[in-house]
Chains A and B, each alone.
Chain A
């Protein structure tokens, strides 16, 4: 294991859990993914100053795989104690537990790269970083993200975009 692992871990742990939770909707499953991702990082020679991006991409792929494998923790387990989420200051954006669950089901059905582009963008990566991570042309990231959002919004059953 590399000697800088603990420092990288403590700097990025909460962020990596957040990325995986975005995909899985579950803190416990997200922490499982984070363990896996940091183990991989520990065996890698990725420079520490590139760790943030690397970990975000690794967490996204790993969490999406877990989501798609159907092996994540049971819905009852993962939703226990999770209240509805709300984006601050945006009253309309209260998303119910059922909606969050169906959004994850839709995420699992998206093509892997499309889902990954969506998650990476919503995890704060720039368009250029998303393009590099997923081997997309920078010009197509916006289109890919938009498409994924349209699919997910259908699941929310109140999408604002015209058909």
Chain B
């Protein structure tokens, strides 16, 4: 029998019950695996000791509670983020900004990232536990199908900041949505971001998929005829976003418009590739959601919405069904809809009602 992977041995250290009977039986009778298990256990203990907090007794919960309540006293707290007093908590704003900026960028990236669906998941995951740093590299990415074949980005979006709406229109060819009435708390002129078309080609490889399955201890289901070597061409963009920020630089409202993502296939139909990938053992849930919500015609909204993180509903925007997303912690919301292959989104640290009002008033 094959030896269990390092990951399985590592789990055996912590959660023997989480390891299959076969693996446990193998390790118990395999000197090499027993040695590797001992090493894994010793390594885990050493890292645990290195990460152990300095010995300093219990923290003073009373003092900390007093600090928290003074920071949240009425008048000290703006609508959606804590005050950032000077001194000890001076980094608060700086740390918080990336998460908010990431949400701000999401509407743009939803279209600008290949197979835009990908971007909602990490964004809302991060938002749930804000603040989390998300880099541009995290945002502009394709579904990670690399375990199942070759993924080649053939065109990069080259996002950039432009001076005004005219420049954005010139770069993207898109009409930049104009907001008739800014919601309360949003003021000033927006900054404009643009991104070009993103394109990537995925070539399915039965060999790679078999390796991925084997890594999960599974056998690859037989691929449908013609699938090996067939390609998907994933495309999205261009996109433009107008972003309003507070004087501190924290974005409050983003209005964006992008070319809806599309998928084309050569060889077998896209649905065949997708359904087969979905049948594979060990496919991460997030990736499965992204795939499930991709469509070949770009007409449906490719937004996998993790129900435990955000609530989703629909509303009418100018005669089109829009998806309304509200984070469960109430900090962020977004409204997104697709019309004639163009996706438009409004998102921000505002209520869904305020955002719907903006959406319906777009010029």
Contact A71 B94 (CB under 8 A): yes
Contact B65 A126 (CB under 8 A): no
Residues of A within 8 A of B98 (CB): 65
Contact A65 B133 (CB under 8 A): yes
Residues of B within 8 A of A161 (CB): 39-40, 43
- Most chain B CB neighbours (cut-off 10 Å) among A69, A86, A139, A149: A139
Contact A27 B80 (CB under 8 A): no
Contact B329 A44 (CB under 8 A): yes
B48: Cβ under 8 A from any A Cβ: yes
A160 to B39, CA, bound (A): 6
Contact A36 B95 (CB under 8 A): yes
Contact A9 B10 (CB under 8 A): no
Contact A127 B43 (CB under 8 A): no
Known contacts A43-B330, A95-B46, A142-B9, then 19 further A-B pairs from the complex at CB < 8 Å, ordered by chain A residue = A1-B72, A30-B53, A43-B329, A62-B131, A66-B91, A69-B91, A81-B56, A83-B54, A93-B45, A95-B49, A99-B50, A127-B18, A128-B18, A144-B7, A145-B10, A146-B10, A149-B10, A160-B39, A160-B43
B82: Cβ under 8 A from any A Cβ: yes
Q: How far is the CB of A123 from chain B (nearest CB, A)?
A: 9
Contact B94 A69 (CB under 8 A): yes
Asked if A122 meets B46 with Cβ closer than 8 Å, knowing A9-B68, A69-B91, the reply is: no
Contact B39 A162 (CB under 8 A): yes
Interface string of B88-132 (1 = CB under 8 A from A): 110110110010000000000000000000000110011011111
13 pairs, CB–CB < 8 Å, chain A vs chain B: A10-B65, A35-B89, A38-B68, A43-B331, A82-B55, A93-B49, A135-B285, A139-B7, A140-B7, A143-B5, A146-B9, A152-B47, A153-B46
Asked if A65 meets B53 with Cβ closer than 8 Å, knowing A34-B64, A46-B328, the reply is: no
List B171-194 residues whose CB lies under 8 Å from chain A.
none
Contact B132 A61 (CB under 8 A): yes
Contact B10 A66 (CB under 8 A): no
- Across the two chains, which residue of chain B brings its CB closest to A83? B55
Pick the residue among A66, A90, A112, A119 that contacts B95 (CB under 8 A). A66
Q: How far is the CB of B7 from chain A (nearest CB, A)?
A: 3
Question: How many residues belonging to A are interface residues under a CB distance threshold of 8 Å?
Answer: 80
Contact A18 B8 (CB under 8 A): no
A95 to B52, CA, bound (A): 9
List B1-57 residues whose CB lies under 8 Å from chain A.
5-11, 14-15, 18, 39-40, 42-56
B170: Cβ under 8 A from any A Cβ: no
List B280-313 residues whose CB lies under 8 Å from chain A.
282-286
A48: Cβ under 8 A from any B Cβ: no
Pick the residue among B8, B58, B129 that contacts A62 (CB under 8 A). B129
List A76-94 residues whose CB lies under 8 Å from chain B.
81-83, 85-87, 90, 93-94
B275: Cβ under 8 A from any A Cβ: no
Contact A143 B6 (CB under 8 A): yes
Residues of B within 8 A of A74 (CB): none
Residues of A within 8 A of B72 (CB): 1, 39, 42
List 8 tightest A-B contacts by C-beta distance, closest first.
Answer: A143-B7, A142-B7, A44-B329, A21-B53, A82-B54, A142-B11, A93-B49, A142-B10
B158: Cβ under 8 A from any A Cβ: no
List A29-75 residues whose CB lies under 8 Å from chain B.
30-32, 34-36, 38-40, 42-46, 54, 57-58, 61-62, 65-66, 68-69, 71
Residues of B within 8 A of A27 (CB): 53-54, 56, 59
Pick the residue among A14, A46, A153 that contacts B61 (CB under 8 A). A14
Q: How far is the CB of A59 from chain B (nearest CB, A)?
A: 9
B216: Cβ under 8 A from any A Cβ: yes
Residues of A within 8 A of B9 (CB): 142, 146
List A1-29 residues whose CB lies under 8 Å from chain B.
1, 6, 9-10, 13-14, 17-18, 21-23, 25-27
Asked if A90 meets B47 with Cβ closer than 8 Å, knowing A13-B59, A61-B129, A141-B11, the reply is: no
Contact A85 B49 (CB under 8 A): yes
Residues of A within 8 A of B286 (CB): 135
